[in-house]
Amino acid sequence: MTESLTNASVLITGGTGSFGTAFINRLLDTNVKKITIFSRDEKKQDDMRTKYSDARLAYFIGDVRDPRSLDRIVPGHDYVFHAAALKQVPSNEFFPLEAVKTNILGTENIVNACVNSSVKSLVVLSTDKAVYPINAMGISKAMAEKVAIAEARRISSISSDFRITITRYGNVLGSRGSVIPLFINKIRRNQKLLITNPSMTRFLLPLESAIDLVIYALINGQNADILVRKSPSCTIETLALALMNILGHNVDTVNVGPRHSEKFHETLVSKEEMNVAHDLGDYYRIPADTRSLNYDTFYKPSSSFEKSEYTSSNTNVLNLADTISLLTASSHVRLLLDSENVSF
């Protein structure tokens, strides 16, 4: 799947995060010519310099909020992967304008920088929380999707070769700031696990599968597409029991109720999207609505929405044994389990 990256120059915004680090490992196994890491975290960039010694890696300190820093670094790259975002639901609730600046305006800035340069393709990373959003993080990511799609629709009208695609997936197993490293630390320290609600469900996507989705979108996505990776899920209670089983140590759990604006179940594809989506096996493709505002031109009889949304409650909900298998099969989770000091 990575043949198109041969001799290509790649830029990753937010490249020091969990996705960026894993994506770098995948890219370094290809014949890619250059990988530029763009982020505002100098410590993590320095850690990467220490970890990797590959001459194809370059580092740039900057912020997607600042269009000038993007205008300096984006030109000269073939493909851009936009992973920079504020991702924590509770912190976005307390600082919603920061979510606007990074997730919405930052996306506008990277889109504009790509349009104004020779970039061939931009892949924007989104989240299940953008579907039927009820919190600031989800609303900001939903708007980021709309910003990208609107620009993709505009450039299609002028026959541009530049292409924008969006990827949407649920919780990535063991990603920084997620519940898995938090639970691992607490279990090892014999501390109580604070569980929002034992029956809550969450999608579970191995980091490797998230990378597969992004590469799939780069190669197969059409302009303004949203590509969704199908994922199993489990309840929060099952996840906690699975980690205790794997670590061989039981701790008490306390049900504390939902955090600020937290959903009971997550949705990856809305009912409205499911009725136009293409089922591609492991993926759903949601094509853009390419109609103009002149609706009379596109008049046709209305149709009912027959399909239901794709959620963490109606996907393949794993039992305890299957959850344990999924966790132990993930190389990223195994690294967390093997490490005495888990960063979360």
Provide the pLDDT for residue 69.
95
Q: Is position 215 within any domain? A: yes
3-state secondary structure of 228: strand
Q: Is position 214 within any domain? A: yes
Provide the pLDDT for residue 204.
94
Dist CA 128 CA 126 (whole Å):
7
Cβ-contact 74, 58 below 8 angstroms: no
User: Is this model's pTM higher than 0.85 or not?
Assistant: yes
**Residue 11's closest CA among 2, 29, 22, 24?**
24
Provide the pLDDT for residue 171.
87
Provide the pLDDT for residue 272.
94
> Among 14-23, 107-116, 122-131, 139-148, where is mean pLDDT lowest?
14-23
| Average pLDDT across the chain, whole number | 91
What tokens does 344 get?
């979360």
CATH code of the domain in which 37 resides: 3.40.50.720
Whether 215 shows a pLDDT value over 60: the answer reads yes
**Number of domains into which the chain is organized:** 1
Average the pLDDT over 331-335 and give the result. Answer: 85
Dist CA 111 CA 123 (whole Å):
10
Q: Which domain holds residue 211?
A: 3-170+205-230
Q: Is position 21 within any domain? A: yes
Q: Is position 280 within any domain? A: no
Counting Cβ atoms within 10 Å, is residue 293 exposed (0-12), middle (13-18) or buried (19+)? Answer: exposed
Cβ-contact 167, 127 below 8 angstroms: no
Catalytic residue, chosen from 129, 141, 186, 230, is 129
Provide the pLDDT for residue 156.
81
Question: Measured at the alpha carbon of residue 228, what is the angle toward residues 224 and 231, in degrees to the nearest 5?
Answer: 175
Q: Is position 281 within any domain? A: no
What tokens does 46 get?
């320095």
Cβ-contact 170, 230 below 8 angstroms: no
- Alpha helices of 166-298 — where are they, by DSSP H? 179-188, 207-220, 236-247, 271-274
What confidence category does residue 342 fall into, taking pLDDT thresholds of 50, 70 and 90? very low
Provide the pLDDT for residue 151.
94
Whether 158 shows a pLDDT value over 80: the answer reads no
Provide the pLDDT for residue 306.
77
Q: Is position 332 within any domain? A: no
Counting Cβ atoms within 10 Å, is residue 159 exposed (0-12), middle (13-18) or buried (19+)? Answer: exposed
Provide the pLDDT for residue 304.
64
Is residue 271 annotated as a catalytic residue, yes or no? no
Residue range 29-85, pLDDT digits in tens:
999 999 999 999 999 999 999 999 899 999 999 999 999 999 999 999 999 999 999
Q: Is position 315 within any domain? A: no
Cβ-contact 104, 144 below 8 angstroms: yes
Average the pLDDT over 327-343 and give the result. Answer: 77
Q: Is position 277 within any domain? A: no
What confidence category does residue 121 fall into, taking pLDDT thresholds of 50, 70 and 90? very high
Provide the pLDDT for residue 335.
84
Average the pLDDT over 165-178 and give the result. Answer: 87
Residue range 260-313, pLDDT digits in tens:
888 999 999 999 999 999 999 999 999 998 887 887 776 666 666 678 999 999
Average the pLDDT over 177-194 and give the result. Answer: 91
Provide the pLDDT for residue 177.
73
Average the pLDDT over 203-215 and give the result. Answer: 94
